[in-house]
């Protein structure tokens, strides 16, 4: 079974700052997956247009003492021209997630357009879909708050000198 999710977030920050922050996230798997225990980079290659990295992530479902750990694979591709990032993730039990983040100027702000395609067996589809959409909403809200705080304009204070 398949579900698609779209999320647009507009950020009041410079385009380059948004691209750099989104690019930094590709090396921070725990920011995408709060249950990730360990991440290891297995392979990386790049050319003048893109950087491609293959990760193995150790994850868990549940909590101790009944937690189940498992590994999954994700390929992260950063397009150096556009700043877009693609996460192609394969989990056990036939779960596949394809996440694409495009970054573009929009009405004086920067918009991150995220599309997530989740394919999973029917009994798992809603669990995976709701988990990933909740996590990505939270992640992008944190990125938005962080960048807007860093790039907030200074208040325009009136001149405090007496007139005359």
CATH number assigned to the domain comprising residue 89: 3.30.530.20
81/143 Cα distance (integer angstroms)? 21
The answer to whether position 95 is within a domain reads yes
In a domain, 18, yes or no: yes
The model's pTM is: 0.83
Confirm whether 60 is domain-assigned: no
Ranking 62-76, 99-113, 116-130 by mean pLDDT, the lowest is 62-76
Residue 88, helix vs strand vs coil: strand
* 163 domain-assigned: no
Q: Per-residue pLDDT for 102 more than 90?
A: yes
Q: How many CB atoms lie within 10 A of CB 144?
A: 19
**Domain boundaries, position 116:** 2-34+76-150
What is the model's pLDDT at position 164?
57
d(CA 8, CA 102): 10
pLDDT for residue 40: 77
Q: In the prediction, which pLDDT does 46 show?
A: 87
The count of structural domains within the chain is: 1
Rounded to whole angstroms, the Cα distance separating 12 from 15 reads 9
Percent of the chain with pLDDT over 70: 85
140 occurs within a structural domain: yes
156 vs 71 pLDDT, higher one: 71
Would you say residue 9 lies in a domain? yes
Q: For a pLDDT cut of 90, what percent of the chain falls above it?
A: 52
Cβ(99)–Cβ(86) below 8 Å: yes
Q: Which of 36, 32, 54, 37 is nearest to 133 (CA)?
A: 32
43 in any annotated domain: no
């Amino acid at each position: 079974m398949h579900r698609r999710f779209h999320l647009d977030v507009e950020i009041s920050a410079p385009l380059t700052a948004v691209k750099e922050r989104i690019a930094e996230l590709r090396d921070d798997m725990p920011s995408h997956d709060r249950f990730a225990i360990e991440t290891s980079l297995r392979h990386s290659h790049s050319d003048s247009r893109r950087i491609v990295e293959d990760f193995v992530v150790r994850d868990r479902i549940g909590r101790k003492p009944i937690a189940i750990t498992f590994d999954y694979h994700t390929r992260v591709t950063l397009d150096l021209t556009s700043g877009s990032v693609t996460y192609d993730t394969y989990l056990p039990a036939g779960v596949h997630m394809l996440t694409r983040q495009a970054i573009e100027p929009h009405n004086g702000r920067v918009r991150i357009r995220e599309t997530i395609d989740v394919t999973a067996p029917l009994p798992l589809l809603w669990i995976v879909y709701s988990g990933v959409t909740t996590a990505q909403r939270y992640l992008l809200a944190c990125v938005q708050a962080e960048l807007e705080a860093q790039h907030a304009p200074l208040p325009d204070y009136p001149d405090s000198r007496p007139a005359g």
